[in-house]
Structure 1
């Protein structure tokens, strides 16, 4: 290496990768795969295990088993579903990420969106949330059964594997998706489950294309170019 070669120095690396304040508010995209949350004595709900760093004084509390009532306790005890949340309170900055998945920030304005519970990274305390299980799915899929309904006004951060695709649903144009590739849909839609034995026979698959989610009405569906396999947590 030449003695006058100043490339790839530690100083250059730090300058290129260091944290930068962009003044975007409560949620700030530090990078496409890292979310910065600016706390000023308030709190944020985040996916358990998503914290990668923080600056300042922070308190982390696991969402209690009874926070959503006996129904929530029953769901967790029965399925071990992984939609566990951490309440982060304090003053400073907390950085969140989820296995390098791409982050999408959504601002709800008195709106409702349903997100695969595993793909919810964080949301403001003003947003109302509930966890529900899709009917008829539990007997066909092991894990990934739960959706989180987020409603009201506030910021929500969700994650996708690679670039998401949003499909518009109209009464004349229903949309069918692979459950393992389905990330979210508008609260105006209620998906049905459509079994197709032909796909299973042709493709030799025991899940995924052997049944699809059917969306009919007015709204949108978000899918990702990746079929996520879910594992129940004890």
Structure 2
């Protein structure tokens, strides 16, 4: 049997996370290392003796859920073998956490179980309840795999160059950056787009670091419910990492 499909065989690799292609991740799970925490339902194939704990909840994360209501649907992958992960053909990006990564759970595919996970809220520039968004803060030594709709843009923030981005498009930023959510100038327009411009919530970044932006303001695919959902914005799809 002959086909061009047979060119798409598993890639050879020695690292823990390897991109099989821009939208498919190959993960090496070893008993001697910390488990992999991945988005529930993201496994598309695996080889070897790998167990998936779909009800995983770390103690810190249970505390976060009680305080904020923010949920992160994770499964723990442990054992020995190879796991292939993907989510709605999103583009995938492997990053070192480095000096700190702030992340929205909807844009996280997988990360090392040894990393510390906390919750931070983005302050709103207006006095509106629930205007801020909760985000993951990853710390420690390890890697995280982020998802974007399309090829992203990385912007550098310096003390001389502040950055403002659409809250529906931002994916990631360096934890060291100072952030603030900004709404339309008139209070009556807080919950609608800015007049004829079509713009809504913005996030302002100051300090020194980087911001990751995706070329889309759509809801992540996992939240779409039919064609009518296209064009809706997400309040603040935000993830963060620093590279220095």
TM-score (norm 2): 0.77
The worse-fitting range, judged by mean Cα deviation, of 175-184 and 186-195 is: 186-195
* 1:133 corresponds to: 121
In the alignment, structure 1 residue 89 sits paired with structure 2 residue 78: yes
- Displacement of 1:47 in angstroms is 1.2
1:75-224 to 2 correspondences below 5 Å: 75-76=68-69, 81=70, 83-109=72-98, 111-136=99-124, 139-140=130-131, 145-197=133-185, 200-203=194-197, 205=198, 209-224=199-214
* 1:64 corresponds to: 57
The worse-fitting range, judged by mean Cα deviation, of 23-32 and 61-70 is: 61-70
Distance 1:65 1:72 in 2: 11
In the alignment, structure 1 residue 55 sits paired with structure 2 residue 43: no
**More strand, by proportion:** 1
**Greater Rg over alpha carbons, structure:** 1
Change in CA separation of 1:67 and 1:193 when aligned onto 2, cut-off 3 Å = closer
In the alignment, structure 1 residue 18 sits paired with structure 2 residue 39: no
Where structure 2 has 5 or more consecutive residues not aligned to the other structure, the ranges are 187-192, 225-244
Aligned residues: 210
Distance 2:113 2:130 in 1: 33
Q: What RMSD in Å do the two structures reach over aligned CA positions?
A: 2.4
- Displacement of 1:181 in angstroms is 0.2
Indicate the SS of the match to 1:106: strand
